Amino acid sequence: MANPYHVWLSEIMLQQTVVATVIPYYAKFLAAYPAIDDLAAAPVDEVLGMWAGLGYYARARNLHACAKQVAALGGFPDTIEGLRALPGIGPYTANAIGAIAFNLPVLPVDGNIERVAARIFAITAPIPAAKPAIAHAAAQFMQDKAARKAPGDFAQALFDLGATICTPRGPSCERCPWRGACRAYAQGNAASLPARAKKPERPRRAGVAYVLLDKVGNVCLIRRPPSGLLGGMLALPEQPPVAARWRDAGEIAHVFTHFSLTLQVKLAVVPKLPPGALAAPAKTAPLPSVMRKALDAALNSIDDCV
């Protein structure tokens, strides 16, 4: 069976994030924290810095809190109830760890398995309204003998089926081992399922990011409040940190899950940063993606003036 630490770490990182983005972060975390005790012992600010750029930063805080609890317990619980009691672990993640690491008879229903279930049972209602029906349909997969014998292997086989054959666009139905049981294939509408309701347009927000640099390339930063947007992360100030000759350095756009943000970037260069300022080298500061965009815009504006 798989290492529960590895399964948990990958599943947390894969929430709302594509595999290609996760792979280098996953490798970096395992290199820095080979065991969950190593992650638990690390300072939370270090973990947040390692996470910078991966997004959805509450995950990083929950990751650290969960690691501390698991280390205190001496290992991951081997029941769904015990897993659900840990910070940041919901039904899907608990089922993924339970099935893959502990061979529990549960099915973690991700987007791939949702798609397979919607097509096998020809569920035509649009997501998200169809999610309860799809979850009920997916639960029927667990009646398969292979699922009862090896739930973890069965779940990963379904993940692979959805990722490689029953794909979102252009499914390879002729290669599918379940083609004969697929109602959507029989009806000729597999490629159109699952249907999705039209998403509302994201609200637009605007703000300002102040980039204060010193002569040796350090940037003045703040620490965001522990909860809320970019909670606990390093960031650029939203207000001028000092009185200085601020100039426009362009603007950047960034898309969050629920809104779009445009930041006007203001730049000033001073001989020294204010005493006690939180500072880091501008080119390597561990910043969230939106803040890195703003800082890079400021640095590029300096290069353009040279």
Domain of 266, CATH number, reads 3.90.79.10
What does the alpha-carbon distance between residue 23 and residue 120 come to, in Å, rounded to a whole number? Answer: 31
Average pLDDT over the chain reads 94
Verify that 169 and 241 share a domain, yes or no: no
Verify that 88 and 208 share a domain, yes or no: no
- Active-site residues: which are they? 11
- Look at residue 100 and tell me if it is in a domain: yes
What does the alpha-carbon distance between residue 164 and residue 171 come to, in Å, rounded to a whole number? Answer: 8
- Look at residue 261 and tell me if it is in a domain: yes
Domain of residue 275, residue span:
204-305
Verify that 109 and 164 share a domain, yes or no: yes
Verify that 34 and 162 share a domain, yes or no: yes
Of the three residues 167, 192, 217, the one that is the final residue of a domain is: 192
> What pLDDT, on a 0 to 100 scale, did the predictor assign at position 218?
97
Going by C-alpha positions, the residue among 128, 147, 263, 257 that lies closest to residue 197 is 128
Provide the β-strand partners of residue 198.
Answer: none
Domain count, the chain: 2
- Look at residue 119 and tell me if it is in a domain: yes
Q: What are phi and psi of 128, to 5 degrees?
A: -90, -10
Of the three residues 139, 172, 192, the one that is the final residue of a domain is: 192
**pLDDT digits over 100-127, tens only?**
999 999 999 999 999 999 999 999 999 9
Verify that 60 and 165 share a domain, yes or no: yes
Verify that 298 and 211 share a domain, yes or no: yes
Of the three residues 171, 192, 213, the one that is the final residue of a domain is: 192
**pLDDT digits over 80-105, tens only?**
999 999 999 999 999 999 999 999 99
> What pLDDT, on a 0 to 100 scale, did the predictor assign at position 228?
87
Verify that 108 and 160 share a domain, yes or no: yes
Verify that 156 and 300 share a domain, yes or no: no
Verify that 132 and 208 share a domain, yes or no: no
- Look at residue 197 and tell me if it is in a domain: no
Verify that 8 and 89 share a domain, yes or no: yes
Verify that 127 and 168 share a domain, yes or no: yes
Verify that 142 and 222 share a domain, yes or no: no
CATH number at residue 118: 1.10.340.30
Q: Give the CB-side neighbour count of residue 284, counting CA atoms within 13 A.
A: 1
Provide the β-strand partners of residue 279.
Answer: 220
- Look at residue 284 and tell me if it is in a domain: yes
What does the alpha-carbon distance between residue 51 and residue 44 come to, in Å, rounded to a whole number? Answer: 10
pLDDT confidence bin for 303, thresholds 50/70/90 = low
**pLDDT digits over 137-148, tens only?**
999 999 888 888
Q: What percent of the chain has pLDDT over 90?
A: 88
- pTM of the predicted structure, to 2 decimals: 0.81
- Look at residue 279 and tell me if it is in a domain: yes
